[in-house]
Amino acid sequence: MKPASFAYYRPGSLDEALSLLAEHGPDAKCLAGGQSLVPAMNFRLARPAVLIDLNRIGSLAGIEQTAGGSVRIGAMTRQRAVERSAMVAERAPLLYQAMPWIAHPQIRNRGTIGGSLAHADPAAELPAVMLALDARFVTAGPSGSRSVHAREFFTGILTTALEEGEMLTAVEIPPRPAGARSVFVEVARRHGDYAMVGVAVELTLDDGRRCGSCRIGLLSVGDTPVLAGAAMRELTGAELTRDAIDGAAAVAARDLDPPTDLHASAEYRRHLARVLIGRALRRAAA
Protein backbone atom coordinates (compact mmCIF):
# COMPACT_ATOMS: atom_id res chain seq x y z
CA MET A 1 0.00 0.00 0.00
CA LYS A 2 0.98 3.62 -0.38
CA PRO A 3 0.73 6.17 2.42
CA ALA A 4 -2.03 8.74 2.62
CA SER A 5 -0.89 12.08 1.20
CA PHE A 6 1.16 14.35 3.44
CA ALA A 7 3.13 17.59 3.33
CA TYR A 8 6.90 17.17 3.59
CA TYR A 9 9.42 19.55 5.19
CA ARG A 10 13.16 19.11 5.48
CA PRO A 11 14.46 21.64 8.02
CA GLY A 12 18.19 22.37 8.22
CA SER A 13 18.29 23.25 11.93
CA LEU A 14 16.75 22.22 15.24
CA ASP A 15 15.09 25.64 15.61
CA GLU A 16 13.45 25.29 12.22
CA ALA A 17 12.22 21.77 13.09
CA LEU A 18 10.77 23.03 16.40
CA SER A 19 8.96 25.92 14.64
CA LEU A 20 7.42 23.44 12.19
CA LEU A 21 6.34 21.20 15.06
CA ALA A 22 4.78 24.19 16.84
CA GLU A 23 3.05 25.32 13.65
CA HIS A 24 1.53 21.94 12.74
CA GLY A 25 0.92 20.52 16.23
CA PRO A 26 -0.44 16.96 16.47
CA ASP A 27 -0.82 16.74 12.65
CA ALA A 28 2.98 16.56 12.33
CA LYS A 29 5.41 13.71 12.90
CA CYS A 30 9.20 13.68 12.85
CA LEU A 31 10.82 11.41 10.28
CA ALA A 32 14.11 9.88 11.46
CA GLY A 33 15.28 6.62 9.82
CA GLY A 34 11.74 5.82 8.68
CA GLN A 35 12.12 2.14 9.59
CA SER A 36 9.03 2.11 11.83
CA LEU A 37 7.16 5.19 10.64
CA VAL A 38 7.21 4.51 6.89
CA PRO A 39 5.85 0.94 7.17
CA ALA A 40 3.16 2.24 9.54
CA MET A 41 2.27 4.95 6.99
CA ASN A 42 2.24 2.43 4.15
CA PHE A 43 -0.22 0.28 6.09
CA ARG A 44 -2.14 3.48 6.96
CA LEU A 45 -1.72 2.75 10.65
CA ALA A 46 -0.18 6.23 10.81
CA ARG A 47 -1.52 9.13 8.74
CA PRO A 48 0.45 12.24 9.66
CA ALA A 49 -0.63 15.24 7.58
CA VAL A 50 2.89 16.66 7.87
CA LEU A 51 6.29 14.95 7.94
CA ILE A 52 9.27 16.84 9.36
CA ASP A 53 12.39 15.11 8.10
CA LEU A 54 15.23 15.42 10.63
CA ASN A 55 17.90 13.93 8.38
CA ARG A 56 19.41 17.30 7.39
CA ILE A 57 20.01 18.42 10.97
CA GLY A 58 23.66 17.53 11.46
CA SER A 59 23.75 18.75 15.08
CA LEU A 60 21.38 15.93 16.08
CA ALA A 61 23.84 13.16 15.15
CA GLY A 62 27.07 12.08 16.83
CA ILE A 63 28.53 10.31 19.85
CA GLU A 64 30.62 12.23 22.37
CA GLN A 65 31.77 12.21 25.95
CA THR A 66 30.37 15.03 28.09
CA ALA A 67 32.39 17.01 30.62
CA GLY A 68 30.77 14.90 33.36
CA GLY A 69 31.94 11.65 31.71
CA SER A 70 28.55 10.60 30.29
CA VAL A 71 28.25 9.21 26.77
CA ARG A 72 25.94 11.50 24.82
CA ILE A 73 24.38 10.08 21.66
CA GLY A 74 22.48 12.44 19.35
CA ALA A 75 18.94 11.32 18.49
CA MET A 76 19.72 11.10 14.75
CA THR A 77 22.77 8.88 15.25
CA ARG A 78 22.28 5.76 13.13
CA GLN A 79 22.04 2.51 15.03
CA ARG A 80 24.90 1.19 12.90
CA ALA A 81 27.17 4.04 14.06
CA VAL A 82 26.47 3.10 17.68
CA GLU A 83 27.16 -0.55 16.92
CA ARG A 84 30.57 0.41 15.50
CA SER A 85 31.55 3.02 18.08
CA ALA A 86 34.72 2.33 20.07
CA MET A 87 33.52 4.79 22.71
CA VAL A 88 30.25 2.91 23.17
CA ALA A 89 32.13 -0.42 23.29
CA GLU A 90 34.37 0.88 26.05
CA ARG A 91 32.01 3.09 28.05
CA ALA A 92 28.61 1.48 27.51
CA PRO A 93 29.26 -2.20 26.76
CA LEU A 94 25.66 -3.14 27.58
CA LEU A 95 24.43 -0.96 24.71
CA TYR A 96 27.22 -2.26 22.49
CA GLN A 97 26.19 -5.87 23.18
CA ALA A 98 22.53 -5.16 22.43
CA MET A 99 22.99 -3.39 19.09
CA PRO A 100 23.43 -6.45 16.82
CA TRP A 101 20.15 -7.85 18.16
CA ILE A 102 18.16 -4.99 16.63
CA ALA A 103 16.62 -6.11 13.34
CA HIS A 104 19.12 -6.51 10.47
CA PRO A 105 22.14 -4.46 9.30
CA GLN A 106 20.14 -2.83 6.49
CA ILE A 107 17.60 -1.55 9.03
CA ARG A 108 20.30 -0.42 11.46
CA ASN A 109 21.97 1.52 8.62
CA ARG A 110 18.93 3.81 8.47
CA GLY A 111 17.30 3.40 11.90
CA THR A 112 18.32 5.91 14.55
CA ILE A 113 18.75 5.78 18.30
CA GLY A 114 16.22 8.58 18.79
CA GLY A 115 13.70 6.99 16.42
CA SER A 116 13.74 3.72 18.33
CA LEU A 117 13.43 5.43 21.73
CA ALA A 118 10.70 7.86 20.63
CA HIS A 119 8.79 5.02 18.97
CA ALA A 120 8.75 3.30 22.41
CA ASP A 121 8.00 -0.20 21.22
CA PRO A 122 8.01 -2.40 24.38
CA ALA A 123 9.58 -5.20 22.28
CA ALA A 124 12.52 -3.02 21.19
CA GLU A 125 15.98 -3.52 22.66
CA LEU A 126 17.06 0.08 23.21
CA PRO A 127 14.36 1.22 25.68
CA ALA A 128 15.11 -1.69 28.06
CA VAL A 129 18.86 -1.11 27.73
CA MET A 130 18.43 2.59 28.55
CA LEU A 131 16.44 1.63 31.67
CA ALA A 132 19.22 -0.70 32.80
CA LEU A 133 21.81 2.02 32.14
CA ASP A 134 19.77 4.64 34.04
CA ALA A 135 20.06 6.92 31.01
CA ARG A 136 18.58 10.41 30.68
CA PHE A 137 16.74 11.63 27.61
CA VAL A 138 17.28 15.18 26.41
CA THR A 139 14.30 16.84 24.77
CA ALA A 140 13.74 20.19 23.05
CA GLY A 141 10.41 21.96 22.77
CA PRO A 142 8.54 25.24 22.99
CA SER A 143 9.57 25.77 26.63
CA GLY A 144 13.22 24.85 26.11
CA SER A 145 15.16 21.71 26.90
CA ARG A 146 14.34 19.02 29.48
CA SER A 147 16.24 16.03 30.80
CA VAL A 148 13.96 13.07 31.51
CA HIS A 149 14.95 9.85 33.34
CA ALA A 150 14.55 6.76 31.17
CA ARG A 151 12.25 5.29 33.85
CA GLU A 152 9.86 8.25 33.40
CA PHE A 153 10.06 8.41 29.61
CA PHE A 154 8.09 5.31 28.57
CA THR A 155 4.48 5.79 29.59
CA GLY A 156 2.58 3.15 27.56
CA ILE A 157 2.56 1.19 24.31
CA LEU A 158 4.27 3.42 21.73
CA THR A 159 3.76 6.35 24.11
CA THR A 160 6.34 8.56 25.80
CA ALA A 161 6.63 11.56 28.08
CA LEU A 162 7.34 13.79 25.05
CA GLU A 163 4.86 16.66 25.13
CA GLU A 164 3.22 18.35 22.16
CA GLY A 165 5.79 20.26 20.14
CA GLU A 166 8.69 18.43 21.81
CA MET A 167 11.25 16.16 20.24
CA LEU A 168 14.06 13.96 21.48
CA THR A 169 17.49 15.45 20.79
CA ALA A 170 19.89 13.09 22.61
CA VAL A 171 20.31 10.34 25.16
CA GLU A 172 22.94 10.53 27.91
CA ILE A 173 24.38 7.43 29.53
CA PRO A 174 26.01 8.12 32.92
CA PRO A 175 29.61 7.05 33.58
CA ARG A 176 29.97 3.33 34.16
CA PRO A 177 30.83 2.49 37.78
CA ALA A 178 34.21 0.84 38.37
CA GLY A 179 33.94 -2.93 38.21
CA ALA A 180 30.60 -2.89 36.40
CA ARG A 181 29.49 -5.97 34.49
CA SER A 182 27.05 -5.88 31.60
CA VAL A 183 25.08 -8.69 29.98
CA PHE A 184 22.39 -8.59 27.30
CA VAL A 185 20.47 -11.74 26.32
CA GLU A 186 17.31 -12.33 24.34
CA VAL A 187 15.36 -15.10 22.65
CA ALA A 188 13.70 -14.50 19.27
CA ARG A 189 12.26 -16.99 16.82
CA ARG A 190 14.87 -15.96 14.21
CA HIS A 191 17.85 -13.68 14.60
CA GLY A 192 16.68 -10.17 13.67
CA ASP A 193 13.07 -10.74 14.73
CA TYR A 194 11.65 -8.81 17.66
CA ALA A 195 12.45 -10.76 20.82
CA MET A 196 9.92 -12.87 22.70
CA VAL A 197 11.77 -11.70 25.83
CA GLY A 198 15.05 -9.82 26.35
CA VAL A 199 17.05 -8.98 29.46
CA ALA A 200 19.62 -6.21 30.03
CA VAL A 201 21.68 -6.43 33.24
CA GLU A 202 24.18 -3.90 34.59
CA LEU A 203 25.65 -4.65 38.02
CA THR A 204 28.72 -4.13 40.16
CA LEU A 205 30.43 -6.73 42.32
CA ASP A 206 32.95 -6.18 45.10
CA ASP A 207 35.82 -8.57 45.77
CA GLY A 208 33.66 -10.69 48.04
CA ARG A 209 31.17 -11.17 45.18
CA ARG A 210 28.69 -8.91 46.92
CA CYS A 211 26.47 -6.99 44.54
CA GLY A 212 26.97 -3.22 45.01
CA SER A 213 24.33 -2.11 42.53
CA CYS A 214 22.08 -3.97 40.13
CA ARG A 215 19.76 -2.85 37.33
CA ILE A 216 17.68 -5.24 35.24
CA GLY A 217 15.75 -3.99 32.19
CA LEU A 218 13.27 -6.27 30.42
CA LEU A 219 11.71 -6.09 26.95
CA SER A 220 8.65 -7.72 25.44
CA VAL A 221 7.04 -8.40 28.82
CA GLY A 222 4.50 -5.59 29.10
CA ASP A 223 3.14 -2.34 27.67
CA THR A 224 6.45 -0.59 28.32
CA PRO A 225 10.02 -1.72 28.92
CA VAL A 226 10.15 -2.90 32.52
CA LEU A 227 12.65 -2.42 35.37
CA ALA A 228 12.69 -5.51 37.59
CA GLY A 229 12.58 -3.37 40.74
CA ALA A 230 11.91 -6.06 43.37
CA ALA A 231 14.69 -8.32 42.04
CA MET A 232 17.09 -5.37 41.88
CA ARG A 233 16.38 -4.50 45.51
CA GLU A 234 16.75 -8.13 46.56
CA LEU A 235 20.18 -8.44 44.93
CA THR A 236 21.64 -5.09 45.95
CA GLY A 237 23.98 -5.76 48.89
CA ALA A 238 23.56 -9.54 48.57
CA GLU A 239 26.17 -12.11 47.64
CA LEU A 240 25.53 -13.33 44.10
CA THR A 241 25.14 -17.01 44.93
CA ARG A 242 23.19 -19.45 42.78
CA ASP A 243 20.30 -19.34 45.27
CA ALA A 244 20.25 -15.54 45.33
CA ILE A 245 20.17 -15.42 41.53
CA ASP A 246 17.43 -18.05 41.23
CA GLY A 247 15.39 -16.28 43.93
CA ALA A 248 15.70 -12.88 42.25
CA ALA A 249 14.80 -14.32 38.83
CA ALA A 250 11.69 -15.95 40.32
CA VAL A 251 10.67 -12.69 42.05
CA ALA A 252 11.12 -10.71 38.84
CA ALA A 253 9.09 -13.19 36.77
CA ARG A 254 6.31 -13.33 39.38
CA ASP A 255 5.81 -9.55 39.17
CA LEU A 256 5.41 -9.50 35.36
CA ASP A 257 2.16 -9.22 33.46
CA PRO A 258 3.33 -10.12 29.94
CA PRO A 259 1.12 -10.16 26.85
CA THR A 260 -0.10 -13.19 24.94
CA ASP A 261 0.26 -12.87 21.17
CA LEU A 262 0.85 -15.13 18.20
CA HIS A 263 4.54 -15.49 19.14
CA ALA A 264 4.17 -16.61 22.77
CA SER A 265 1.68 -16.98 25.60
CA ALA A 266 1.93 -14.86 28.75
CA GLU A 267 2.83 -17.98 30.73
CA TYR A 268 5.66 -18.86 28.34
CA ARG A 269 6.99 -15.30 28.41
CA ARG A 270 7.03 -15.32 32.24
CA HIS A 271 8.91 -18.61 32.21
CA LEU A 272 11.36 -17.29 29.60
CA ALA A 273 11.92 -14.12 31.59
CA ARG A 274 12.85 -16.17 34.69
CA VAL A 275 15.26 -18.34 32.71
CA LEU A 276 16.88 -15.41 30.89
CA ILE A 277 17.22 -13.24 34.01
CA GLY A 278 18.94 -16.18 35.76
CA ARG A 279 21.19 -16.72 32.74
CA ALA A 280 22.12 -13.04 32.48
CA LEU A 281 22.88 -12.75 36.21
CA ARG A 282 25.01 -15.91 36.20
CA ARG A 283 27.00 -14.58 33.25
CA ALA A 284 27.45 -11.25 34.98
CA ALA A 285 28.62 -13.02 38.15
CA ALA A 286 31.02 -15.34 36.32
Ligand X SMILES: Cc1cc2nc3c(=O)[nH]c(=O)nc-3n(C[C@H](O)[C@H](O)[C@H](O)COP(=O)(O)OP(=O)(O)OC[C@H]3O[C@@H](n4cnc5c(N)ncnc54)[C@H](O)[C@@H]3O)c2cc1C
Q: How far is the CB of 121 from ligand X (least distance, A)?
A: 6
Q: How far is the CB of 104 from ligand X (least distance, A)?
A: 7
Residues near ligand X (CB under 6 A) are: 29-37, 39, 54, 75, 102-103, 107, 111-112, 114-116, 118-119, 124-126, 162, 167-168, 194
Q: How far is the CB of 264 from ligand X (least distance, A)?
A: 15
Whose Cβ is closer to ligand X: residue 26's or residue 69's?
26
Whose Cβ is closer to ligand X: residue 30's or residue 273's?
30
Whose Cβ is closer to ligand X: residue 48's or residue 205's?
48
Q: How far is the CB of 269 from ligand X (least distance, A)?
A: 16
Whose Cβ is closer to ligand X: residue 118's or residue 211's?
118
CA–CA separation, 100 vs 104, rounded Å?
8
